[in-house]
């Protein structure tokens, strides 16, 4: 049966409400046939269908609105959470940062407390295992066994006693559970091992030094025993040679005495006496005379067959001349520095120092000359005399009277350096 035009809007409304076009819409119970077989009119059916479509459309619109509102609420909530997260991450918000730091500190403290509790339980369990007599304390022997069981390290009784003393906080001579810490035990064992290594190294060094000193003493004794006999000749020729040896420093010191000779013309004859050896020494030009005399005296002083008195004075004269040359070099350096600084050393100061050097060297030479002519060793010049005495130490005196300890000390100090 064809629908009347009045039903068309109703079918459009149904489509707008979400009902598919062409779908059959079942009539409500009220529109079904009555028990007597009578049916409602077509107009009544159209009205009912239109109302049902409008009701479905209204319900669909409300559902769409509810979905939109829910989406909007979710977007607002997400935006709020993002804003809160941004605020918490904002470095300019000290309160938020402080809260986060406090939270982290609290978490770290809780974690440390948990770890400490776990370590405490572990120590207590280990302590019960090591406490063989179950008295709640560990003595040195029990700790010694515990170190062997836990760390696999063998410690002697002395080390075990040291461990107990180091771990014993309350000073009762025993180790309680709260005092047992194998990390501390490991650290103490390492310290004890380093101390032992240092002690052993010091003992080895001392033993090596003693062995070296013993070897040096043996070599020294062998050297003394193998020395040839000393030539103790003190005849006239030996005395004259010893006397003449001091002409080298005496003539070399004349350059320091020019101020003295200029200030006191009365002592000019002494200068004339020293001119002869100076001319002999300067027979070779360019100072070669002094060099030849110097090295010639060195060679004679090293000859062990010559008389000891001659060798002694040759060495002392050479050493005195070396000291004189050194003082001349030092004076020249000071004068050069003063000249470069624009304030040269006054003549009174330089002349006085030069005169003092000349008089000192001349006095040493005169003393040594007089002693040599008398056949005695001039041993009153301090270090210079010790050097000269060491020169003849390579020969053994016939009377056997000599002090060898100071020369051994000299060799010992040289060996230590």
Q: What is the pLDDT of residues 335-385, one digit of tens each?
A: 889 888 888 888 888 889 999 999 999 999 999 999 999 999 999 999 999
**The tokens of 342 are what?**
């624009």
> Helix or strand or coil: residue 50?
helix
Which pLDDT does position 319 carry in this prediction?
A: 94
> Helix or strand or coil: residue 291?
helix
Which pLDDT does position 32 carry in this prediction?
A: 45
CA distance 13 to 21: 10
Cβ atoms of 411 and 217 within 8 Å: the answer is no
* Of 372 and 74, more confident: 372
* Of 167 and 73, more confident: 167
Which pLDDT does position 412 carry in this prediction?
A: 56
Q: What is the pLDDT of residues 94-126, one digit of tens each?
A: 788 888 888 888 888 888 888 877 777 766 776
| Least confident piece of the model among 248-252, 286-290, 366-370 | 286-290
Cβ atoms of 310 and 238 within 8 Å: the answer is yes
Question: Is residue 1 pLDDT above 50, yes or no?
Answer: no
The structure's pTM equals: 0.51
Question: Which of 2-16, 91-105, 137-151, 216-230 has the highest average model confidence (pLDDT)?
Answer: 216-230
**The tokens of 169 are what?**
């906080």
Helix 42-89 × helix 94-130 angle, to 10°: 70
Taking the CA of residue 256 as centre, how many other CA atoms within 13 Å lie in the half-sphere pointing to its CB? 26
Q: What is the pLDDT of residues 187-227, one digit of tens each?
A: 888 888 888 889 889 988 888 888 888 888 888 888 888 88
CA distances from 255 to 252, 259, 305, 358, 379 (A): 7, 9, 35, 8, 27
CA neighbor of 325 nearest in space, from 9, 107, 371, 333: 333
- Proportion of the chain in helix, strand, coil states, percent, rounded to 5: 75, 0, 25
Taking the CA of residue 170 as centre, how many other CA atoms within 13 Å lie in the half-sphere pointing to its CB? 9
Residues 6+ apart with CB under 8 A from 409: none
- Evaluated on CA atoms 303, 304, 306, 311, the torsion sign reads positive
> Per-residue DSSP letters for 56-83?
HHHHHHHHHHHHHHHHHHHHHHHHHHHH
CA distance 390 to 10: 144
> Per-residue DSSP letters for 227-243?
PPBP-----HHHHHHHH
- The H helix count followed by the E strand count for the chain is 15, 0
């Amino acid at each position: 049966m064809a629908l009347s035009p009045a039903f068309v809007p109703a079918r459009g409304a149904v489509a707008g409400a979400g009902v598919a076009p062409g779908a059959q819409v079942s009539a409500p119970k009220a529109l079904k046939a009555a028990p007597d077989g009578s049916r409602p009119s077509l107009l009544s059916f159209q009205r009912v269908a239109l109302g049902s479509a409008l009701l479905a459309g209204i319900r669909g619109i409300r559902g769409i609105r509810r979905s939109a509102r829910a989406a909007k609420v979710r977007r607002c909530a997400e935006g709020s959470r993002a804003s809160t997260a941004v605020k918490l991450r904002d470095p300019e918000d000290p309160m938020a940062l402080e809260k986060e730091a406090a939270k982290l500190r609290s978490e770290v403290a809780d974690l440390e407390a948990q770890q400490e509790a776990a370590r405490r339980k572990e120590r207590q369990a280990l302590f019960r295992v090591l406490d063989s007599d179950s008295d709640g304390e560990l003595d040195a022997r029990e700790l010694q066994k515990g170190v062997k069981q836990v760390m696999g390290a063998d410690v002697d009784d002395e080390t075990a006693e040291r461990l107990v003393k180091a771990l014993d906080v309350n000073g009762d001579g025993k180790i309680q559970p709260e005092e047992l810490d194998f990390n501390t035990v490991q650290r103490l064992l390492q310290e004890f091992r380093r101390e032992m290594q240092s002690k052993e190294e010091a003992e080895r060094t001392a033993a090596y030094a003693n062995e070296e000193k013993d070897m040096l003493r043996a070599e020294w004794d062998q050297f003394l025993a193998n020395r040839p006999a000393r030539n103790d000749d003190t005849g006239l020729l030996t005395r004259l040679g010893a006397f003449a040896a001091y002409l080298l420093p005496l003539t070399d010191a004349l350059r320091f005495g020019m101020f003295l000779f200029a200030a006191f013309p009365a002592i000019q004859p002494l200068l004339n006496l020293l001119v002869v050896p100076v001319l002999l020494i300067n027979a070779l030009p360019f100072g070669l005379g002094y060099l030849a005399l110097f090295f010639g005296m060195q060679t004679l002083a090293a000859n062990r067959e010559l008389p000891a008195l001659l060798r002694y004075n040759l060495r002392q004269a050479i050493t005195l001349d070396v000291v004189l040359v050194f003082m001349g070099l030092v004076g020249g350096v000071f004068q050069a520095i003063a000249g470069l600084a624009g304030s040269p050393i006054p003549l009174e100061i330089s002349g006085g120092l030069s005169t003092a050097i000349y008089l000192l060297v001349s006095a040493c030479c005169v003393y040594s000359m007089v002693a040599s002519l008398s056949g005695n060793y001039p041993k009153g010049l301090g270090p210079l005399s010790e050097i000269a005495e060491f020169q003849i130490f390579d020969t053994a005196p016939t009377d056997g009277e000599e002090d060898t300890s100071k020369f051994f000390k000299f060799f010992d100090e040289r060996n230590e350096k």
